[in-house]
Amino acid sequence: MNKPATQHHLFTSKVLDWFQTHGRKDLPWQQNPTPYRVWVSEIMLQQTQVNTVIPYYQRFMERFPSIETLAQATPDVVLHHWTGLGYYARARNLHQAARQLVADHNGIIPNNVDQLSELPGIGRSTAGAIVALAHRQPATILDGNVKRVLTRCFAVSGWPEQSKVKKQLWELAEALTPHKNTNVYTQAIMDLGATVCTRSKPDCPACPVTVQCLALKSHSISHYPGRKPAKALPVKATVMHMLHNCHNQVLLEKRPPSGIWGGLWSFPETPDPEEFPAAIVCARELNESQRWPTLRHTFSHYHLDIMPIHQQVDELSDKVMESDRWLWYPLDQPVEVGLAAPVKQLLQRLAQAVR
């Protein structure tokens, strides 16, 4: 097994060689790559693919050929030239940063990552791309394309946005970025991710680092990059009382108009299985209550563990039933009312159980 430094060197030289024959060299921002032109392209490319960006970029450059013209424009005009490209905060930040640079720095775009990263809308990777591609100085990028190539080739597991994984990827990206020809390598690694090591169908036979790629070797390409871990949902619990009278009817309560299951019919609930629903204490319990297995219902923000309790009861007083908050639901002749999903399920089970 080769040492990591040798592996890194091999990777870098393979990617650089590949770029000579397969890299993209005719992109509009590669012609006359001034810091301003590269900056605008990097911002447009942040969430958008190259082919979509090209016509927008050309129109934008015709209208705002320099940082000064951009700084002088009104926000409306800038947004107008961004219309259809989406993620408009990018345009607002770009405009604001241009005004800031013109006002405080004579319109000169910084040539180091730290100063660039202080400007609105420029993160560490975008700053690295501007320094490498426009200023032609050593700097590292780690955009989505690069993350995909590196996680696969070096089998870096875990979600790339997780701080531990991110740190590992930045260290790897820095170790791979050459001090000479940084601009070529930067374009090459972006191109490799965008055209060969694509998200769903990587073209491994055309890849220059096939021999090194650990994901390919272990047939686990689809595991990289790792997905965002699903957030563990909190669990809440409730007790639903299925109060059943001698006419084979079950008592339902209308829920308040807002909140979960707003306006739907549900069983009376209590937090505690030993408690009887307070509003209907006048019902007489005719036998031992029966606890049913817990039923889990999942909302987008939490799981609700429902403990159903079946209880045979006497009639309720007329006073209680006068209110349109209560309904005796006939189990053998279901009526058309809005039911919360688990309530519907429990009513069906109950109907079967008493058949």
Let me know if 298 is exposed, middle or buried by CB neighbors in 10 A (0-12, 13-18, 19+): exposed
Q: By the criterion CB under 6 A, which residues form the site for ligand SF4? A: 149, 152-153, 196-197, 202, 204, 207, 209-210, 213, 215-216, 221
Pick 203 or 285: Cβ nearer ligand SF4:
203
CB 306 to ligand SF4: min, Å: 46
Taking the C-alpha atoms of residue 331 and residue 249, their distance in angstroms, rounded to an integer, is 6
Residues belonging to the active site: 42
Q: Quick one: 127 or 215, whose CB is closer to ligand SF4?
A: 215
* Contact criterion met (CB below 8 Å) for 141 and 125: yes
Whole-number Å distance between alpha carbons of 309 and 258: 25
Position 158: which residue type?
G
Q: In the chain, which ranges are continuous DSSP H helix?
A: 4-22, 35-45, 50-63, 67-72, 75-80, 89-105, 113-117, 124-133, 144-153, 163-176, 182-191, 214-217, 318-322, 341-353
CA separation for the pair 155, 168 (Å, rounded): 11
* Distance of closest approach, residue 15 Cβ to ligand SF4, in angstroms: 10
Closer residue to ligand SF4 (CB): 7 or 96: 7
Rounded CA separation 246/342 (Å): 23
Closest separation between CB of residue 25 and ligand SF4, Å?
20
The residues pairing with 285 across neighbouring beta strands, listed in sequence order, are 313
With respect to ligand SF4, which residue has the nearer C-beta, 204 or 279?
A: 204
Return the number of the residue (216 or 240) whose C-beta is nearest ligand SF4: 216
- By beta-carbon proximity to ligand SF4, the closer residue of 165 and 221 is 221
Please identify, using beta-carbon distances, which residue of 153 and 313 lies nearer to ligand SF4.
153
- What CA–CA distance (Å, rounded) separates 277 from 222? 52
Q: How far apart are CA 101 and CA 39, in angstroms?
A: 13
Minimum CB distance to ligand SF4, residue 122 (Å): 28
- Distance between the two ends of the chain, CA-based, in angstroms? 71
Residue with tokens 């339902």: 252
Task: Give the shortest CB-184-to-ligand SF4 separation in angstroms.
Answer: 19
Minimum Å gap between C-beta 227 and ligand SF4 is: 16
3-class DSSP state of 269:
strand
CA atoms within 13 A on the CB side of 259: 5
- In whole angstroms, give the CA distance from residue 342 to residue 305: 11
**CA distance linking residue 78 with residue 60, whole number of Å:** 8
Rounded to the nearest whole angstrom, what is the least distance from the CB of residue 220 to ligand SF4 in the complex?
10
Beta bridge partners of 303: 235, 298
